[in-house]
Structure 1
Amino acid sequence: MMIDPYEELLAKRAQLDAEIAAVRATRRRDITEQILKLMREYEISVQDLDDWLAAEESGDRRRRRVEPRYWDPKTGATWSGRGKRPRWMAGHDPEEFRLKTLAQQAGDAGGLGDADADAADGPHDSTPEQEH
C-alpha cells in the first residue's frame, strides 16, 4: 500500500512543529533569564515596562514625568514610588518619607478649628445652614 504524499507531508510538518515548540521553550527560558538579569542590573521594574508598553501602544514613546511621592529630608532626593526602592529608604517605613498634599499639610498644622480646616480645603458651595 502506498503512503499518500500529502499525509506524509502533514506528518513531517507535525514533527517539525513539535521540534520548533521544544526549541522555542528552551530559548524563551534562556532569554527570560537574560531579561531578568538586565532588569536587575539597570533597575528596571515591571511597572517601567508596563508604562513603556502603554506609551508604545498609544504611539507616544516619550516618558511622562511622574510626580515624586517620597522625599528624603537629609538629601532632598525624591522617588516616585516606581522602580527599585532607593537606598535612603532601606530599613524604614516608606510612609516616613511620603510627601503630603496641601490638604494633608493643612490638616496636620494642628489647632485649626473645623471652620478653619474647611477653609484650608478650599471654597465650598454650601451655605452655613448645610452640613459638610
Structure 2
Amino acid sequence: MERYKDLLAQKEQLEKLIAEAHKIEAAAALQRVREAVAQFGFTPEDIFRKPRRNGRRAAAPKYRNPETGETWSGRGRAPRWIKDQDLERFRITE
C-alpha cells in the first residue's frame, strides 16, 4: 500500500510540474505571437480567419432578377423569382 501512496504523491508532483511548464511555455508562445503581430501588422481577421468548410469559393452569380437586382449563382435551391421559368431569360451576359 505504501508503494501506491508513493506513486500517487509522485503523480501529484508531476502534475504540478506539468502545469507550471505549460504556463511558462504558453507565455513564451504568446510573446512570440505578439511580436509577429507587431512586426507584420496582422489583424485579428488575418489570424482567426475561418476556413471554408469544403474549400470551395463562392460562385459568381449567373442569373439576375431584372426587377429587383437579386442574383443567383445557379447552385443550391433556386429562388422563387426564377423557379419554374426559362433560365436563359435571367442569365447574366457580361
TM-score by length of 1: 0.39
Distance 1:14 1:59 in 2: 44
Q: Which residue of 1 aligns with 2:67?
A: 123
Query: Stretches of 4+ moved more than 2 A in 1?
Result: none
- Give the superposed CA RMSD: 2.5
Distance 1:59 1:23 in 2: 37
The 5 Å alignment of 1:1-80 reads: 4-51=2-49, 54-55=50-51, 58=53, 60=55
Distance 1:49 1:28 in 2: 17
Question: How much does 1:26 deviate?
Answer: 1.3
Distance 1:55 1:20 in 2: 32
- Which consecutive residues of structure 2, in runs of 5 or more, have no partner in the other structure? 58-65, 69-94
- Which consecutive residues of structure 1, in runs of 5 or more, have no partner in the other structure? 65-121, 125-132
TM-score by length of 2: 0.52
Matched to 2:41, the amino acid is: E
Question: How much does 1:59 deviate?
Answer: 5.4
Q: Percent identity?
A: 18
